Amino acid sequence: DTAVSQTPKYLVTQMGNDKSIKCEQNLGHDTMYWYKQDSKKFLKIMFSYNNKELIINETVPNRFSPKSPDKAHLNLHINSLELGDSAVYFCASSHTGLAGTGELFFGEGSRLTVL
Amino acid sequence: AQSVTQLGSHVSVSEGALVLLRCNYSSSVPPYLFWYVQYPNQGLQLLLKYTSAATLVKGINGFEAEFKKSETSFHLTKPSAHMSDAAEYFCALNAGGTSYGKLTFGQGTILTVHP
């Protein structure tokens, strides 16, 4: 069983289109994240949800809209795709709380290519 | 503000040689520190973590790291490199507390292992 699974793994689309990436975790964690890895492999947090509540939004353009229907799912919808959105998007989860250290479990990534 | 600096974007070693990947950090609060490994076209996998217990931390695949507060360092070592260690390695910091697992990553170090 995959702990953190993302779909699709690869996504190729045209500028201006809207696309979504889905993420599910079966670890029972209470916090989920979206990270973006750019072409230089630099990883940066985009969003974090704790128990379905948005708690981190790192000045991401509002074309990006995360949605968490429940603790186990966190989806990312991107409107009006731009060339600069091409990247690998990683979903991650963790148990965060007094006993939590913030250790993250990552999915395998979704490679988005905007043409 | 927190930051992580990995010295050397590329490290090349011979099989059987010592592996040393350098990581320095800056944090205004006691940090949690991590090393993650990323194999080509895969997600990030946790190698080891420092969470304010023992300063010498052992991880998977024979890797270990030592937390040195005086040097603000968390270098990753392995006594004898194996071909399968070839990958990209990321040092990361979590400020803990209410940061909800927001990891700050270093730039990554690509490890090449020669026969």
pLDDT at B4 over 90: yes
Work out the mean pLDDT of chain B and round it to a whole number. Answer: 92
Across the interface, which of B90, B94, B101 has its CB nearest the CB of A43? B90
| pLDDT digits 0-9 by tens, A51-91 | 888 888 887 899 999 999 999 999 999 999 999 999 999 99
Residue of A7, A38, A41, A46 to mutate, testing the B interface (most B Cβ within 10 Å of its Cβ) = A41
State the pLDDT confidence band at A96, using cuts at 50, 70 and 90.
confident
Distance separating alpha carbons of residues A35 and A64, to the nearest angstrom: 12
pLDDT score of A50 more than 80: yes
Which residues, numbered 63 to 102 in chain B, qualify as contacts with chain A under a Cβ-Cβ cut-off of 8 Å?
A: 88, 90, 94, 96, 99-102
Q: Which residues of B touch A106 (CB under 8 A)?
A: 36, 43-45
Would you say residue B54 has pLDDT above 90? Answer: no
pLDDT at B99: 59
B63-76 burial: b if 16+ Cβ within 10 Å, else e: bbbebeeeeebbbb
Tell me which chain B residue has its CA closest to the CA of residue A4: B43
Average pLDDT, chain A: 90
Q: Are B88 and B38 in contact (CB under 8 A)?
A: yes
Phi–psi pair at B8, nearest 5 degrees: 100, 110
CA atoms within 13 A on the CB side of B44: 30
pLDDT for B108: 95
> Hey, are the CB atoms on B100 and A43 less than 8 Å from each other?
no
Percent of chain B topping pLDDT 90: 77
Question: Does the pLDDT at position A2 exceed 90?
Answer: no
Question: Please, which pLDDT band fits residue B40 given cuts at 50, 70 and 90?
Answer: confident
Question: Are B101 and A100 inside 8 Å of each other by CB?
Answer: yes
Please name the residues in contact with B94: beta carbons below 8 A apart, sequence gap of 6 or more: A101, A102, A103, B31, B32, B33, B34, B101, B102, B103, B104
Please state, in angstroms and as integers, the Cα–Cα distance from residue B4 to each residue in A1, A66, A85, B32, B74, following that order: 33, 27, 24, 12, 10
Q: Is the pLDDT of residue B100 over 80?
A: no
pLDDT at B98 over 60: no
